[in-house]
Amino acid sequence: MSDAARARALGILSVLLFFVPLVAPLVQGVTLVYVLSLGWRGSLDRTSMILAASGAALGFVLFLATEYLFIV
Amino acid sequence: MDAPSSTPSFTRRAFVRTAAAAGIGGAYLGGAHLLLQDARWTPNLSFWVSRGRDPAGPPLRGEREADLAIIGGGVTGLSTALHALLRSPRLRVVLLEAHYVGFGATGRSGGVLGNGTEMGTPPGTGENVAQVIEIVDRFGIGCDLERAPETQLDPYRYAVGLKRTVLGLGGAIHEGSRVRSLEDGQTVTVRGDDFAVRAPKVIVAANGYTPRLGIGAARLFPAHTAAAVTAPLPREILRDIPDSILVMTSGEMYMWGRKAPGGRVLVGAGARYLYDNGLNYTGDGFLFPALHRTLVKSFPALAGHPFEHAWTGPMGCTTDQEPIIGTAGQSGNIVYCGGYTGHGIAMGTKAGSFLSDMLHGQSPPAWMLRPTQSLPGEPLRYIAINTVINMMNLGLYHMDKHV
């Protein structure tokens, strides 16, 4: 699996698992670190970077909403 | 390493700037809300208790022999003591409560009575409300009991009334007496910091606090829930509010509520498990605004009437949302009961009579002795319980109910 595909998969997982405590922020954190490291080296295309980072960010927002707005 | 594709990469400077801006913005928006605290929020101290607390009896000091030791001064423990003493007036009953009678889920509940459990009306629970009414009438318990159209009462006053009745029947109740450990044996020793009670039978009626005693942790867990009450409302607004409120939120979780004394509306909702059976919910700025928004969705006239008093605290739950009776210890003489999932006032009273029957050799209904899904240890416990709670909130998970 290429770096780009791995980053995109992590981004999707970050969203899909948003309601799983502990696991969700872990996956989102790993995604962010992965994207940051690839981005720092300039070895990730813009689309994959935006997809993965957005997935991590959206997943984290949804995770926080589930954790703190649990009366929905 | 993959070569960059046809789309151009970020420059390093643009990348760092964007990431830093997003991080700082997110931390500010999220952190500011997390740090908000609501001055009206008093953890564990319900509206009922805030109206005036009954003087607590002296804590237990020294050693004591008893025929029956009960841990927990909520409805279950008090009802067990009451029924045991009614059947065997000479029984030496010692009830130990860590804080004060009615401190736990009993005193924090809404006081709305219903037959059965969260999941329906299993055998033996069809007359739960009638039993509470009969106890209130028989012993003259002053607890603002409303019989119709909905049966509801002040749960704290009900617990205090049970306490006085048990004391009147010769039982001993020690508040401020936290149990630290149980030493198993033919005679169980219940130890606290300054006391030890030896008894051949022990009932653990601590509900959500039970796992902290190292008992029933695989079957019971504490879930924190929130409740709040408005200030007295104008008559014209109150007229349009039903006596009993039950509003489904987006998923299977629901908001419950009622009219409370003094022309108020009292509501509650939500469930959250804290890591390692945690009991101290520190709260945040999201909780009570969310509860008020949910209330206003159903009753828009309450938009300009914020909560006056709000509280949280743990209630006992099981994996199938039905209460259980279980045994612990090598001799099976430590019996625990709990997991009412918010339906504990009437069901806890009934459970007390089941436990008393057990002490006299009768078996409780088979469904209360059923095996339940075993909960794992941490961190899987935290992940599993809150994942299911989140899925229920999101409407992704449903449980089969009794018809």
Give me the average pLDDT of each 10-residue run along chain A (72 residues).
Answer: 93 96 96 92 90 95 80 49
Strand order across the beta sheet in which B254-260 lies: B244-248, B254-260, B264-272, B221-230, B307-317
- Residue B37 is predicted with a pLDDT of 61
Mean pLDDT by 10 residues, chain B (403 residues): 50 75 71 63 88 93 98 98 97 97 95 88 92 97 92 96 98 97 95 97 96 94 92 92 73 79 90 91 75 88 92 92 93 94 93 96 94 94 94 83 62
Give the pairing type, strands B188-192 and B179-183. antiparallel
B13-B18-B23 Cα angle (round to 5):
125
- Residue A12 is predicted with a pLDDT of 97
- Residue B307 is predicted with a pLDDT of 92
A23's CB contacts (< 8 A; 6+ apart) are A17, B383
pLDDT, tens only, B209-262: 999 999 999 999 999 988 999 999 999 999 988 887 877 665 656 788 899 999
- Residue B1 is predicted with a pLDDT of 43
Rounded Cα distance between B211 and B328, Å, is 12
Rounded Cα distance between B403 and B399, Å, is 12
- Residue B354 is predicted with a pLDDT of 97
CA distance B208 to chain A (A): 20
The answer, for B130 touching chain A at a CB cutoff of 8 Å, is no
pLDDT, tens only, B70-114: 999 999 999 999 999 999 999 999 999 999 999 999 999 999 998
Residues of A in contact with B379 (CB under 8 A): 22
Q: What six digits make up the tokens of A10?
A: 């992590």
- For residue B11, the chain A residue with the least C-alpha distance is A42
Residue A55: how many other CB atoms lie within 10 Å: 26
Of B249, B386, B393, the CB nearest to A21: B386
Place of tokens 């653990």: B204
Asked if B335 and B327 count as a contact pair (C-beta separation under 8 A), the reply is: yes
Torsion, CA B74, CA B76, CA B78, CA B84, rounded to 10: -170
CA distance A17 to chain B (A): 10
A68's CB contacts (< 8 A; 6+ apart) are B33, B34, B284, B286, B287
